[in-house]
Chains A and B, each alone.
Chain A
Amino acid sequence: MPTFVYMTRCDGCGHCVDICPSDIMHIDKVTRRAYNIEPNMCWECYSCVKACPHQAIDVRGYADFAPLGHSVRVKRDEEKGVIAWRIKFRNGKKDMDLLAPITTKPWGTCIPQLGDASAPTQEQRDSQLLFNEPKYIRMDEGDIHTLESNGLTMKEGVYY
């Protein structure tokens, strides 16, 4: 769904320009407000809609198959860790509120700095293990799966 920007809400802050994965939210030089410069390269990903601090950006379904008169609005809150959606049908018969978590931890606090982790040993370097393994990759306390440990061989050809 191509995005569009409400004239009275946009203040030209550029958050949408900064986040758009498709580089299609630009600031209009005359109005000094954002707009979608290339609707046919818009994936309706809502990244700009979520990033806008003034709820100035909305979506109108693609003209070639979506009739007018619908609405899918969103508010994403990183501090509360939730996203709230509201879907309204064209015929007014359905009006849904949907809420979902976006994170279970305070933002960005639970990712370790691997530069400070104890340095890998030569043995680890020569092994097939990645950081933090074999944690999580086995049910038992065993090492990483190999062809040998799992009783397998690689055989060339059609049959298996």
Chain B
Amino acid sequence: MNGFSAFVRKEATEIVRTWRIWVLPGMLLMFALTGPLLAKYTPEIIGAVGGSQAAAILKAIPKPTYLDSYAQWAKNLTQIVLFAVIIIYGGLISGERKSGTAVLVLTKPVSRTAFVVAKALVHSVFLAVAVTVGTLVTWGGTALVFGKAAGGPLWTSAMAWLAFGVLFIAIMTLLSSLLGSQAGAAGIGLGVFALISIAGLWEPLAKYSPVGLANAPMVLAAGKESAILWPVVTSLVLSCLLVALAAWAFRTKEL
């Protein structure tokens, strides 16, 4: 076992042994469990508490389908979960600098590049596992509640979002290498998200770059077509470049 793999193992164990195991998976699991039920019964609940006027409005809108459950999942991912990712990972690198643990690790045979790459890698895998489990639960829950749940729209939507989520882990890796403050990095990360969302409105850019992933999960979850190959590929390439840049930035820092 070399320094890199020992550090990867530490990072993975840290997820399981600290608050990290509860926050993202907990949030995803809660959304996965409640999403299908909310999609199915929200109109009925509104009808029950809203009186005759609400009931009349509800009659005019179509009955919810399994796609509404998927839309719920995609909406939670693109909004709440992404925000959580940005805030949680604002201190991915700077947290270890602040606590002094980076000093003990980096004076041993672990390069700063290995340190940064290991973190970005482990947390991308963690996010992938958590989102996959959450999507599975959503899928199963939707099938139970609606009796029908085609896999295609849900999984393409979730995987497109995952590429976007990984891109944000890379962005936060870079920001937390550059900035000492978790809140500062998170603030800038949210700013980047806002910019990407706005840029995604310009179709040519959305078609060929990662900004297309801001909206694609919602479109795909609705069962519509969205060409995501270019956005996904460019997003993964950009993620690698951002992590490389983060490693370079961290190497130039004094600890």
Are these two chains actual partners, yes or no?
A: no
Residues of B at under 8 Å CB distance from A? none
Q: Report A's interface with B, CB cutoff 8 A.
A: none
